[in-house]
Structure 1
Amino acid sequence: MFESNDTFVEEAVKVVESGAMKAKKLCLLAATLLFCVAMISTTGIIKTILAILTIVAGLSYCWILGYKNIEYEYDYTNGSLEIAKIINNEKRKKVVSIEPSEVKLVAAVGTNESLKYDHVNLKTYDCSSNQEDDKDYILVAHSEAKGYDFKVIFNPSEKLLNAMSKYNKHDIYA
């Protein structure tokens, strides 16, 4: 019988719309309506400018509406973590790929280990669900190819953390 010692964990985390995104949508909708009403009551070149602003604000609003269903998928295979962003269950975009040798730290946000990197200016990938109930973790890694450190904020399950600790025993603080 064939046995495999491969480690594979796949998880999907649905992102909750933030207050900032709701505010952007509301402001763009209000701007579209305001420009439209103002356009009706004016004439000449101002009417043309308001028509252009109405179209731009309306298209921006429609573009933001297209990002209403966002998920992050964490694929962990034999020490390598790949995070992809899935938009409206149609478009998949790779966010980051991390090898086990690149991992410096994985710890819950707010712990002593993670606070060391709280005020360090690193490129940050926020791949979390933005839900208050979910526990956020920070992963700090160094990319040899890019030549800099970066951090990832994400919501791994216990299963994923256990799989990660198999390959990075001293760097995982779960």
Structure 2
Amino acid sequence: MQDNFYEQFVGAHESTLYKVVNIEMKLSIVFGVICLFSTAILGLLGIILCVLCAIIYFGLIILKRKTYVDYEYDFTNGEIDIVSIGDKIKRKLIVSFDVKDIELLAAKDSDEVREISNKPDKILKCYPKDTEEKIYTIILSGGSGRARIEFVPDKDFLNLCFQKNPRAVKRGFF
């Protein structure tokens, strides 16, 4: 049996918000250092300002990780893992499933997706917010219940899915 492995990386673009957060982080570090050195003059107020700068800095780290998210789609012998990568650092497994559990894989705006009457309400959006790629929808059945996943696979990824589950993958869209 031949192993099928494919990895697709979907990178995000640096948005204006991401760039502003980076600048704000640098400013909070500079302001925090200034406050730290001025604690001799300001006393307790200087310490409070240092703590405030630290809180703002760590809040900006969290915001930065949420504004710049890459995605990785891994296909290993019919098992698909979708991982988010926050700020190029923190990896988080979003969903893992077998291709055989796919009820439908089609373009998001296709007739096949529109015609499904009992679509799951919850949607996992597994693509960068600013993507210009064509978005596809997966309707999963089995396992822990039904799910709807939106992602932006390339042609090779779609072909591998078709090889493992030709009944569910609609070829009319690639």
Q: 1:117 to 1:11 in 2, by over 3 A?
A: farther
Secondary structure in structure 2 of the residue aligned to 1:139: strand
Q: CA deviation at 1:78?
A: 1.6
Q: What is the CA–CA distance in structure 1 between the aligned matches of 2:113 and 2:16, rounded to whole Å? A: 25
Structure 2 counterpart of 1:94: 93
Give the TM-score of the pair, scaled to structure 1.
Answer: 0.68
Q: 1:117 to 1:60 in 2, by over 3 A?
A: farther
Structure 1 counterpart of 2:45: none
Where do residues 2-151 of structure 1 align in structure 2 (5 Å cutoff)?
5-16=2-13, 59-115=58-114, 116=116, 120-124=120-124, 126-144=125-143, 147-151=144-148
Q: 1:89 to 1:132 in 2, by over 3 A?
A: closer
Structure 2: gaps of 5 or more residues: 23-27, 29-49
Q: CA deviation at 1:143?
A: 4.0
Q: CA deviation at 1:66?
A: 3.8
Higher percent of residues as strand: 1
Q: Deviations over 1:59-103 (max 9, x none)?
A: 423421244542111110121111111223332211110112211
Q: Deviations over 1:18-45 (max 9, x none)?
A: 78989999xxxxxx9xxxxxxxxxxxxx
Q: 1:111 to 1:88 in 2, by over 3 A?
A: same
Q: What is the CA–CA distance in structure 1 between the aligned matches of 2:16 and 2:70, rounded to whole Å? A: 17
Matched-pair contact (CA < 8 Å) for 2:21–2:64: no
Secondary structure in structure 1 of the residue aligned to 2:141: strand
Higher percent of residues as helix: 2
Secondary structure in structure 2 of the residue aligned to 1:172: coil
Secondary structure in structure 2 of the residue aligned to 1:162: helix
